[in-house]
Copies of this chain bind each other. A is one copy, B any other.
Amino acid sequence: MSASKSKVLLIGSGGVGTIASYALEYAGKAEVTSVLRSDYAKVVEQGFSIDSCDYGKIPSFRPTNVVNSVEESLKFGPFEYIVVVTKCVPEVSNMIDVIAPAVSPESAIVLIQNGIGIETEAVTKFPNNVVLSGVSMIGSANLNSHIVHESTDSLKVGVFESNKLDNELTQAVCKKFVTIYTNDKNECIFDESVKFSRWRKLVYNACLNGVCAITGVDSGRLELFGGVDGIIRKAMKEVLAIAKSDGVELPEDIMEFMIRSDDPVYYAPSMLVDVRKGNLLEIEVINGNPIRIAEKNGVSAPYLTLCYELLKVIQRKTMEQKGLLTVPKERPVPK
């Protein structure tokens, strides 16, 4: 049966990516080659340990092939699907350049990442490959190769509008991916309006996620301290206006739905967690790209714009702390 399995290359084994590998291999329809970096040695030796709300306790999970570079993965290809589940931080690394050596004429690229406009580079660089859009709703974290998976894996997959390929082909490729990903424990659907789902998720991410990161408080405190009334509702209205200018009409009540979505928990959104850990944030795709769409379409979005500008400064502060940029020893001044 092994010959009929789809070959999948998976990049990014954080909490979401490792559960995706597991899901793909669970029903025996895919053979996953996983590119690992920091976890490589440990996983080769011991595998991931998983504690999952969907799959239970798995003492040791090792994807079929574990490699430590894309170059090394090539011997297990060619790949039918190349699944990217990394954080999207284009200021620091270009994931499309990273996967390029593995992209064959038949490969479909699946971007399971947050944000808007994340596909531009893939579609431009690989105009003859299908590029799929995955919007994941899951709670899962990788704590030093131990996966704590707390809320069920629910994945919507569709075709990016910007694919200029035959519609029937792209849909077939997408639906096949849904078939191999789906098993009896998770939820994975083909989403004809995946663009809607992507903008919908952004209502939370561009607003609550970003403002909690800037202010350093969880979403419960943000509300108690006046930030939901003073900031979030206004910023969310801007997201809805930008989405509309991009052809996506989100219902007004999505705003209250997202504001209440962490109830009754003092919940620290992922960007706040990352700020606290000194990690980089996905600000270009979550905050920057919507602003650029707003500018292009003439939509006023002062709150989101200022949040983005503040997050850019915070991101550069983190980059300096991580040694990814240095400031001149003396402050440069105009002559």
Chain A residues within CB distance 8 Å of chain B: 211, 214-217, 220-227, 230-231, 260, 262-266, 302-303, 306-307, 309-310, 312-314, 316-317, 320, 327-328, 330-334
Contact = CB atoms under 8 A, between A and B. Distances in A.
Contacts of A317: 215-217, 221, 225
Contacts of A316: 217, 221, 224-226
A221 B331 CA distance: 8
A295 to B, nearest CB: 13
Q: In the A-B complex, list the 6 residue pairs whose CB atoms are closest, starting with the nearest.
A: A302-B302, A230-B309, A225-B316, A220-B331, A215-B313, A227-B313
Given A220-B331, A302-B306, A331-B220, A313 B266 contact: no
A57 B95 CA distance: 60
Contact of A309 (B227, B260, B266, B332): B227
Given A303-B302, A306-B306, A327-B224, A230 B264 contact: no
Contact of A303 (B220, B306, B333): B306
A196 to B, nearest CB: 26
Contact of A310 (B224, B231, B262, B330): B231
Given A215-B317, A302-B303, A334-B260, A220 B310 contact: no
Nearest to A262: B331
Given A225-B312, A227-B309, 17 more contacts: A211-B310, A211-B313, A215-B310, A220-B327, A221-B327, A226-B312, A226-B313, A227-B312, A227-B313, A230-B309, A230-B312, A230-B313, A231-B309, A262-B331, A264-B331, A265-B331, A306-B306
Q: For the complex formed by this chain, how many copies does it contain in all?
A: 2
A314 B264 contact: no
Given A214-B214, A226-B309, A264 B333 contact: yes
A216 B314 contact: yes
A224 B264 CA distance: 41
Contacts of A220: 327, 331
Nearest to A301: B302
Among A303, A331, A332, max chain B CB count under 10 A is at: A331
Nearest to A219: B331
Contacts of A226: 309, 312-313, 316
Contacts of A216: 314, 317
A9 B216 CA distance: 40
Contacts of A331: 220, 223-224, 262-266
B222 A313 contact: yes
A309 to B, nearest CB: 4
A266 B332 CA distance: 10
Contacts of A303: 302, 306
Contacts of A211: 310, 313
Contacts of A306: 231, 302-303, 306-307
A317 B221 CA distance: 8
A310 B234 CA distance: 13
A35 B2 CA distance: 84
